[in-house]
Amino acid sequence: MNREQRERAIIDWVRRIPAGKVASYGQIAELAGLGRGARQVGRVLSTLGGHSDVPWHRVLNSRGEIRLALDSDAGRRQRRRLRAEGVVVNRGRVRMADYAWQVSLDERLWGDFFRAE
DNA sequence: CTGATGACTATAG
DNA sequence: CCTATAGCCATCA
């Protein structure tokens, strides 16, 4: 896979995170076929621009924390977007046990099929 | 080619 | 919970 394909895979999977749910960078990397490329996910999201229609705000680190500075515009935007979807954010953190996105096998296979086009 | 960088993660103390 | 450390890996200067 070249860079373009990897970026597309990442964006595709992030778009599939349902409103009110969250995923980790590592989880998206795994789903997108990047193995341990969690950092690559963060890098791609950083190029989106805060007003993107891509639900980048639903991606948190493995501890359920918002990794953008809480006092930054982007950080506040992320927190606001999450809360607007009913996600409880405390001190920039979310209870993964309550909001972690569980991807069904069907959904995973469909994603693979979609990317194979 | 080399070294630095980061919206990362797991583990140990 | 916090810090430190070590992997990780595409990208960029």
Q: Which residue is nearest to nucleotide C8 (CA to C1')?
A: A36
Whether A38 sits with its Cβ under 7 A from any strand B atom: the answer reads yes
Q: Tell me, what's the pLDDT at A39?
A: 98
A40 CA to B8 C1' in angstroms comes to 9
Share of chain A above pLDDT 70, in %: 95
Cα A31 to Cα A6: distance, rounded to the nearest angstrom: 11
Tens-digit pLDDT string for chain A (117 aa)? 999 999 999 999 999 999 999 999 999 999 999 999 999 999 999 999 878 999 999 999 999 999 999 999 999 999 999 999 999 999 999 999 999 999 999 999 886 676 666
Whether A16 sits with its Cβ under 7 A from any strand C atom: the answer reads no
Q: Which residue is nearest to nucleotide B7 (CA to C1')?
A: A42
Q: What are the sequence ranges of the domains in chain A?
A: 3-116
Structural fold of domain A3-116? Arc Repressor Mutant, subunit A (1.10.10)
